[in-house]
Amino acid sequence: MKFWFITGSQFLYGEETLRQVEADSKEIVAGLKLPFPVEYKLTAKTNGEITDIIREANYDKECAGIITFCHTFSPSKMWINGFAALQKPWLHFHTQYNKSIPNEAIDMDYMNLHQSAHGDREHGFIGARMRMPRAVVAGYWKDPAVQEKIAEWQRAAIGALFSRSLKIVRFGDNMREVAVTEGDKVEAQIRMGWQVNTWAVGDLVKEMDRVTEQEIDALMQEYASLYSFDEKDTDAIRYQAREEIAIRRILDREGAKAFSNTFQDLYGMKQLPGLASQHLMSLGYGFGAEGDWKTAGMTAIIKAMYPDGQTSFMEDYTYDYEKELILGSHMLEVCPTIAAEKPRIEVHPLGIGGKDAPARLVFEGKAGKAKAISLIDAGGRLRLIVQDVCCEKPYQTMPNLPVARTMWRPEPSFLEGLECWIIAGGAHHTVLSYNITDRVVRDFARIMDLELVPINASTTAVSLERDLKLGDIIYGR
Ligand code: MN
């Protein structure tokens, strides 16, 4: 994927200035050290040039967004037709070629050439006047902290692009009677672009029957290179390998990057996919248990934003009021990318579901700052709730809880953090990500037009209630 860099100017200052603007713009682009490439496209001087380049950006499948900058003044009425047609994410880079003002060299020619403080205000006005969703990054282009802000927007834009072509396979429906895993799949497709469809568990079982022993041998070798396990558990682990290969085959055949299943519908399967789902998540596939396709989708998107990151499907299980910690885990399906140590495959019975004892990865999550993210259907709109949390190494060994687990304390404080989560309607299922930042969340929510509900150190239950009421005014009840 690529991002296009468009410089705004006009003919007023003469050919020489335009040549300098172009040379400086190319130098700025070459100096950006970002996770995804940026390509200088042109210095735009007319309505026609701008409209054409934006139409091209819309059409180009590899263009993930546009970055604009006005080295000189660029009369903004010439941008209206282009912006009215813009379908890609937009970042207005409010930078300047020179870092400081030269005392001796400054004259009116210098002023005409280096007037981002002037030209970018005209550009900012038309963005505001047209109510354009856009990211604004201000600062000197060589400053790494400024470049990092562009990098964060790039990740959000990549996530948006990924979202708009995301297919999610549901094996079975959501868990019976559960509300929060329900949702309007038509609204989700309009807003997020997700194609959420169901596949029969029986077809998955047929696919499992077609998996060969040689294919299982190969995956077992991969498991052995990544995880430790006992020989006695081999048969149960081989069954998970069979499940994983079959699930992946269906996902890849459909071009899907996320899936959900439910332990209430495993007809014909001997084990709930545990290790299978965990290993697939580590390969970048999104997962949601109990039919939770919304969390599956968000997990896949954040994994696409951070391909080498630490992101997992998660569930808030139980509290320790004394230590002020939440124990996060799931029956089985936590992604090993968040593991603090080498995960171990173990086989133990589940208390519910009535199936064979499933093989699963057991580990403790790593310590550090993270975000717990829940996308809920708030009725007529999707609400993205993002809570800052601080993960800690579990302080107990919990020998009778052989699942992957982690512990965290939510912001702004343990109890107020819990109250805020409940007030906002956050689900018990979340995406736990150690990578995603406030800026990426904000940029992503803006691009997708989601109701964003951040819960962080500066949130109070009082301010949150007011923000949710504002959301009702903005989006309707
Ligand atoms: Mn669950």
Query: Which of 240, 190, 451 is closest to 356 using CA atoms?
Result: 240
- 134 and 270 in a single domain? The answer is no
Rounded to the nearest whole angstrom, what is the distance from the C-alpha of residue 52 to the centroid of ligand 1?
Answer: 49
- 145 and 225 in a single domain? The answer is no
Rounded to the nearest whole angstrom, what is the distance from the C-alpha of residue 67 to the centroid of ligand 1?
Answer: 40
Rounded to the nearest whole angstrom, what is the distance from the C-alpha of residue 453 to the centroid of ligand 1?
Answer: 22
pTM (predicted TM-score): 0.96
Rounded to the nearest whole angstrom, what is the distance from the C-alpha of residue 112 to the centroid of ligand 1?
Answer: 61
Burial 126-159 (b: 16+ CB within 10 A, else e): bbeeeeeebbbbeeebeeeebbebbbbbbbbbbb
Question: Cα(315)–Cα(458) distance, rounded to whole angstroms?
Answer: 24
- Domain end marker among 163, 192, 209: 163
- 58 and 129 in a single domain? The answer is yes
Rounded to the nearest whole angstrom, what is the distance from the C-alpha of residue 180 to the centroid of ligand 1?
Answer: 11
- 115 and 242 in a single domain? The answer is no
Query: How many CB atoms are closer than 10 A to CB 336?
Result: 21
Rounded to the nearest whole angstrom, what is the distance from the C-alpha of residue 236 to the centroid of ligand 1?
Answer: 22
Phi, psi of 366 (to 5 degrees): -80, 155
- 115 and 190 in a single domain? The answer is no
- Domain end marker among 163, 195, 226: 163
- Domain end marker among 146, 163, 180: 163
- 144 and 10 in a single domain? The answer is yes
Question: Cα(201)–Cα(357) distance, rounded to whole angstroms?
Answer: 19
- 171 and 97 in a single domain? The answer is no
Question: Cα(450)–Cα(466) distance, rounded to whole angstroms?
Answer: 17
- 216 and 112 in a single domain? The answer is no
CA 120 from chain centre, in angstroms, equals 30
CA-CA distances (angstroms) from residue 96 to 40, 67, 119, 139? Answer: 16, 14, 10, 8
- 86 and 235 in a single domain? The answer is no
- Host domain of residue 106: 2-163
Rounded to the nearest whole angstrom, what is the distance from the C-alpha of residue 315 to the centroid of ligand 1?
Answer: 6
Q: Count of domains in the chain?
A: 2
Query: Under 8 Å CB-to-CB from 258, ≥6 apart: which residues?
Result: 166, 167, 168, 169, 285, 286, 287, 288, 293, 296, 297, 299, 300
- 187 and 124 in a single domain? The answer is no
Could you read off the pLDDT tens digit of each residue along the chain, which spans 477 residues? 999 999 999 999 999 999 999 999 999 999 999 999 999 999 999 999 999 999 999 999 999 999 999 999 999 999 999 999 999 999 999 999 999 999 999 999 999 999 999 999 999 999 999 999 999 999 999 999 999 999 999 999 999 999 999 999 999 999 999 999 999 999 999 999 999 999 999 999 999 999 999 999 999 999 999 999 999 999 999 999 999 999 999 999 999 999 999 999 999 999 999 999 999 999 999 999 999 999 999 999 999 999 999 999 999 999 999 999 999 999 899 999 999 999 999 999 988 888 999 999 999 999 999 999 999 999 989 999 999 999 999 889 999 999 999 999 999 999 999 999 999 999 999 999 999 999 999 999 999 999 999 999 999 999 999 999 999 999 987
- 175 and 34 in a single domain? The answer is no
Rounded to the nearest whole angstrom, what is the distance from the C-alpha of residue 429 to the centroid of ligand 1?
Answer: 6
Query: Which of 425, 234, 413, 404 is closest to 332 using CA atoms?
Result: 404
| Secondary structure (3-state) at 407 | strand
CATH number at residue 145: 3.40.50.10940
Rounded to the nearest whole angstrom, what is the distance from the C-alpha of residue 332 to the centroid of ligand 1?
Answer: 9
CATH number at residue 271: 3.20.14
Return the H-helix or E-strand segment holding 247: helix 234-254
- 269 and 373 in a single domain? The answer is yes
